[in-house]
């Protein structure tokens, strides 16, 4: 069997949410380098346009549409800009939330985490179904990738954090676990339409700010990881490209751990 080009995204349009963050920018670059035409979205237009300019210098075709995924009108404007165009890939990467613990977290933090991670992912998949179906009908498949977390599968070790208010919060992992269940449900619902739905669960990928401001925490995280290092953002891009591409054509409902072995202990 000739698998040449199966990893290529040439001729495919991919929509990426949370595109301007620590992991989002690397995912955008990886998708673009694989040949995808990108529709990027995040809340901050200035950061988005800067990213488009950076990608353009790399020869990547990208456009940006500012969107608050939790706002119905803003989401509708995003969907309207897609019009009737086929969407071959959708990457739900958006998340917004702070730190905390069961003892310190407030109810509003739970609601906000679910709204961005789970409700907006559902809303976007639902709204873009005509576009995903159009792509699947024309090319034989479409693919949705939801960005989960290792903390959707295991609990963080609160002991590695300075205190409870600064620890990885319970609502983060709970929202990512819910996103995992949504992934499995949607995968089964749309499997016969050749719309695949999978998730990727990153492990320790601390942002540059965390690396600079909390070196002790990064050292403890490194010590807990079997590979004894943190992940680099580009190391998440490859798995996402794989799941969007035809190379993963018989994979749906799966969760791919990208965590340096963290959840294998």
**What pLDDT shows up at residue 4?**
53
Given this model, what pLDDT does residue 102 score? 97
User: Each residue of 118-144: pLDDT tens digit?
Assistant: 999 999 999 999 999 999 999 999 999
Question: Which domains are seen in the chain, by residue range?
Answer: 13-258 (3.40.50.720)
User: Do 133 and 193 touch, CB atoms closer than 8 A?
Assistant: yes
- Strand partners of residue 16: 40, 91
Contact 165, 110 (CB under 8 A): no
The predicted pLDDT at position 255 comes to 98
CA atoms 93, 65, 30, 223: torsion sign: negative
Give CA 66 to chain center in angstroms.
17
pLDDT at 69: 96
The alpha carbon of 116 is separated from its chain's Cα centroid by a whole number of angstroms, namely 12
Q: State if pTM tops 0.75.
A: yes
Count CB-CB contacts under 10 A for residue 75. Answer: 18
Give every residue of the chain whose pLDDT is below 50, as ranges.
Answer: none
If 0-12 CB within 10 Å is exposed, 13-18 middle and 19+ buried, where does residue 217 land?
middle
Identify whether 250 is a catalytic site residue.
Answer: no
Q: What is the pLDDT of residue 5?
A: 63
Which residue among 161, 172, 185, 250 is the active-site one?
172
Query: Could you tell me if 68 and 74 are in contact, meaning their C-beta atoms sit under 8 angstroms apart?
Result: yes
């Amino acid at each position: 069997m000739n698998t040449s080009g199966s990893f290529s995204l040439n001729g495919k349009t991919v929509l990426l949410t949370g595109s301007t963050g620590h992991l989002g920018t690397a995912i955008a670059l990886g998708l673009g380098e694989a040949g995808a035409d990108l529709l990027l979205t995040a809340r901050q237009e200035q950061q988005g346009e800067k990213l488009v300019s950076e990608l353009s210098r790399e020869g990547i075709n990208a456009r940006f549409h500012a969107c608050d995924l939790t706002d119905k009108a803003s989401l509708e404007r995003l969907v309207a800009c897609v019009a009737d165009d086929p969407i071959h890939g959708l990457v739900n990467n958006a998340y917004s939330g702070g730190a905390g613990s069961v003892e310190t977290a407030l109810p509003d933090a739970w609601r906000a985490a679910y709204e961005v991670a789970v409700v907006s992912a559902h809303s976007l998949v639902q709204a873009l179904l005509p576009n995903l179906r159009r792509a699947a009908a024309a090319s034989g498949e479409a693919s949705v990738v939801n960005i989960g977390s290792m903390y959707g599968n295991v609990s963080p070790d609160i002991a590695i954090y300075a205190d409870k208010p600064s620890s990885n919060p319970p609502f983060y992992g709970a929202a990512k676990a819910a996103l995992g269940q949504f992934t499995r449900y949607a995968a089964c619902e749309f499997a016969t339409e050749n719309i695949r739905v999978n998730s990727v669960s990153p492990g320790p990928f601390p942002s540059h700010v965390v690396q600079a401001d909390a070196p002790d925490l990064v050292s403890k995280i490194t010590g807990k990881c079997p590979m004894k290092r943190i992940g680099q953002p580009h190391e998440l891009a490859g798995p996402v490209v794989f799941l969007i591409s035809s190379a993963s054509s018989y994979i749906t409902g799966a969760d791919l751990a990208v965590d340096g072995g963290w959840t294998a202990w």
